[in-house]
Structure 1
Amino acid sequence: MSVIEASADERPSQAAVTLLPLETKEKPAFEWSTTLLANRGAGPNARLRARPWLTIGRWPGDVDLAVRVADKLVDNAVRHGRPFADGCISLHLIVAADTHELLIEVDDASPEFPGFGDVAIQNSEVRETTTGLGWVAHHGGRLSWDVKRSVDDVIVGKTVQAILPVT
């Protein structure tokens, strides 16, 4: 686990960077996954693909916000991560049966996330720029990440998560 040091200007003095799994004992209310070619169109493609599935899955939250978050996570993986051997990254949408929170996960082949703390510190103040993952945090997405491991426990990349509440 990493620790982020922050200044005292209303940001926490320390914030743990760990994966925030959306685990319940119940089967998810909805679950969908896809792979996307890791290119400039991946973010918009994520938006186009996620919107109908969130509608089909009857997620009661802000679908417009959710598809923009999916776009940002996917775009960030393309720009700053690395595609898997097939040239793709993966996108997963999972709705918890009990809370109806939406977990958006994006996997890529780079096991590192330098500067995560700079974008993940969440407060209500608008920063100089609210783009990418900073935009996700500013709009209420709880961000986290962790390394992605194979079934043989070999590190194969990372998973970046945003959890959105039903608003």
Structure 2
Amino acid sequence: MNPPKQRPTIAVEQAAIPPQASTAKLLPRTEEQPRFRQTWPLKADDSAAPMTRIHLRTWLTVVRWIGNVDQATRVASHLVENAVRHGTPLQPGNLVFLRVFGLSDSNDLAIEVEDALPDFPRFRAFANQSGEVRGKPTGLWWVAHYRGRLCWDVTKNNDGRIVGKTVQALIPATWDGSE
């Protein structure tokens, strides 16, 4: 099964989110080619996060992405794990899709994970997280920690019917942990 070809319609919650939290809409698809782009269908089971780490670490090394590969891999792994745990797999095949592309203008990395649940409960709470460690870091906290931007959108098929959602994290290529 291939992911829907149509770009999602915006459903990002924007009210009352402070500037440090991301409220960015999904990056628009443009005529400009990204530096690189890759998509992986992943079985929505316990192997999805480990497979994400294997695929993405290898791919980012091969394409020579200038950012921190370990940070990007950690974020992608958590996005996929969240889709498996809290989302709904795409059918047929019980899949979630991992998509990555490198932005031509900034070298930043866009990581997208798509599943069939067209809702993102408590998005504001996740987008509002600080990058400071408070207890054990879990899930989407890593996006904030690496100064990434988190957003989401519903996904529609070619007939305009909502078929799921895409969660996107934009990871800067230049952040190394120092302020």
Q: TM-score, normalised by structure 2?
A: 0.82
Aligned residues: 162
1:127 to partner: Cα distance: 3.5
**1:54 equivalent in alignment to 2:54:** no
- Deviates most, 104-113 or 134-143: 134-143
Distance 1:122 1:67, change over 3 A: same
RMSD, matched Cα: 2.2
User: What is the alpha-carbon distance in structure 2 between the residues aligned to residue 89 and residue 149 of structure 1?
Assistant: 15
- Deviates most, 20-29 or 78-87: 20-29
After superposition, residues 94-105 of structure 1 pair within 5 angstroms as 94-105=101-112
1:9 maps to which residue? none
2:34 maps to which residue? 28
Q: TM-score, normalised by structure 1?
A: 0.87
- Pick one of 142, 148, 156 that aligns with 1:141: 148
Ranges in structure 2 where 5+ consecutive residues have no aligned partner: 1-10, 175-179
2:8 maps to which residue? none
- Per-residue CA deviations over 1:60-79 (Å, capped at 9, x if unaligned) read 00001111111000000000
Ranges in structure 1 where 5+ consecutive residues have no aligned partner: 7-11
Q: Percent of counterpart pairs with the same letter?
A: 47
User: What is the alpha-carbon distance in structure 2 between the residues aligned to residue 37 and residue 94 of structure 1?
Assistant: 21
User: What is the alpha-carbon distance in structure 2 between the residues aligned to residue 18 and residue 98 of structure 1?
Assistant: 17
1:73 maps to which residue? 79
1:25 to partner: Cα distance: 4.8
- Pick one of 159, 164, 171 that aligns with 1:157: 164
1:109 maps to which residue? 116
- Pick one of 101, 121, 143 that aligns with 2:128: 121
* Segments of 4+ moved more than 6 angstroms: none
Q: Do the aligned residues in 1 keep the contact of 2:23 with 2:149 (CA within 8 Å)?
A: no
Q: Higher strand proportion, which one?
A: 1
